[in-house]
Amino acid sequence: MKSRRPSCTDSGSESSDPDSKSPEKYETTTRRRMAANARERKRMEGLNTAFDCLRKVVPQWGQDKKLSKYETLQMALSYIMALNRILTDPKRHNAPYRQWLDLQFDCDQPENYPCLMRYDSPAGQECIHSSILYQFKSHMVHT
DNA sequence: TAGGCCATCTGGTCCT
DNA sequence: AGGACCAGATGGCCTA
């Protein structure tokens, strides 16, 4: 947890001139501001929890460093679109492929998907799709 | 040291 | 009136 920036309200003073208000009003304003800050922190905490959940379900193979928020959203977008294409493509709409997909996304190795790291490129989602399809074909050949 | 990323504060707006 | 949400500003931390 990072240290919080010193706050005028958190330390008991207000950004606007305290002398321009009655002590009661000033106290009320300060109390409200502090409550609002606390709510905002909690809200951001919830948002970050959601980002962490998203990071867990999005491909991150080969990355020792966690994805930034922006990267996480980009990866999620590419990932969803790739999966959507796979599932809606009639040519690949069969049980073995789906079962294989389930297995792959549960436990396969990062090094099998090097191009997933290029999700932010224009061809990112196509790359993800191709990679998945290639792995499936290889799997079918060897079984 | 610069740049990227992030947490926090803050004021504005909208909604209940 | 008060809460939720948002965007801008600011400053800290980390890495190349």
pLDDT in tens, A69-113: 888 888 888 888 888 888 887 665 556 666 656 655 554 444 334
In a domain, A3, yes or no: no
State the total domains in chain A: 1
Domain carrying residue A50:
25-110
Enter the tokens of residue A115.
């191009």
Supply the pLDDT for residue A53: 86
Q: Residue A32 falls within a domain, yes or no?
A: yes
Residues 59-88 of A with CB under 7 A from strand B: 68-71
Q: What is the pTM of this model?
A: 0.63
Report the CATH number that the domain containing residue A37 is assigned in CATH.
Answer: 4.10.280.10
Cβ A33 to strand B below 7 Å: yes
Tokens of A132: 């998945």
- pLDDT tens digits, A9-24: 443 333 444 445 577 7
pLDDT at A107: 42
A122 part of a folded domain: no
| pLDDT score recorded for residue A138 | 52
**CA A25 to each of CA A8, A18, A35: distance values in angstroms, whole numbers, following the listed order:** 16, 9, 15
**Which positions in strand B are less than 7 Å from the protein's CB atoms?**
4-12
* Mean pLDDT, chain A, whole residue set: 65
A128 — alpha (psi -120 to 50), left (phi > 0) or beta?
A: alpha
Count of alpha carbons within 13 Å of A25, Cβ hemisphere only? 7
Reported as a single tens digit per residue, the pLDDT across A18-70 is 445 577 777 788 888 888 888 898 888 888 888 988 888 888 755 568 888 88
pLDDT at A122: 45
Nucleic strand C within 7 A of Cβ A2: yes
Those nucleotides of strand C lying less than 7 Å from any protein Cβ are: 2-7, 10-13
The answer to whether position A101 is within a domain reads yes
Nearest-angstrom CA–CA distance, A99 and A94: 9
Percent of chain A surpassing pLDDT 90: 0
Residue A68, nucleotide of least CA–C1' distance: B5
pLDDT at A120: 41
Is residue A59 assigned to a domain? yes
Closest of A19, A16, A49 to residue A32, by C-alpha = A16
CA atoms within 13 A on the CB side of A71: 12
Cα(A106)–Cα(A62) distance, integer angstroms = 16
Q: Strand B proximity: list residues 6-25 of A with CB under 7 Å.
A: 7-10, 15-16
Q: Which positions 20-39 on chain A have a beta carbon less than 7 angstroms from any atom of strand C?
A: 32, 35-36, 39
pLDDT for the residue numbered A25: 75
Residue A96 lies in a domain: yes
